[in-house]
Structure 1
Amino acid sequence: MNPKLLRTILLALAIGFFTMWVLEFRRAGMFESYWLLLLSIVCLLTFQFRRLKASLELKKEEELRQQKKQKPVKLVKK
């Protein structure tokens, strides 16, 4: 699955669960609705983890490209 699509889905789920939690909290209270808040937090943390992981991988790839572009220095033996 496309990583960008997965991050978008996670963010949408987090917003949806949070909205449901607010509505359920107003109706039933904290004790009956805390699981929706926990699901929202889990989705947000997973979204953040995947976003940071992707940026670290991009930096590593960039560093490898820069190392490959640098020409090796030839030493002349005398």
Structure 2
Amino acid sequence: MNFKLVKTILLALSLGFFAVWVLEFRRAGMFESYWLLLLSVMCLLVFQFRRLKASMELKKKQTEEIENQKLSSSKPAKK
């Protein structure tokens, strides 16, 4: 799936769970609504993990491209 789509879904789920948690907290209390808060935090953590993983992959790809360019430019041309 597209990373931007997953990012949007995770943030929307996180905000949705948080809003429902606030409403449920006001109605029932912390003990009955704690699971909604945990789902909200879990969505935020998954979002952060995927974002950092994608940035590390991009950085790794860029360093590999730079190394390949250095290797190809250092080889002498054949005549």
Shift of 1:69: 1.3
Shift of 1:36: 0.2
What corresponds to 1:7 in structure 2? Answer: 7
Amino acid aligned to 1:55:
S
Partner Cα distance (1:20, 1:6) in 2: 21
Identity of paired residues, percent?
66
Amino acid aligned to 2:50:
R
The count of residues paired between Structure 1 and Structure 2 equals 74
| Larger relative helix fraction | 2
What corresponds to 2:58 in structure 1? Answer: 58
What corresponds to 2:74 in structure 1? Answer: 72
Matched, 1:18 2:18: yes
> TM-score w.r.t. structure 2 length?
0.88
Structure 1 stretches lacking a partner, 5+ long: none
Partner Cα distance (1:15, 1:69) in 2: 44
Partner Cα distance (1:18, 1:72) in 2: 55
For the aligned residues, what is the CA RMSD? 1.0
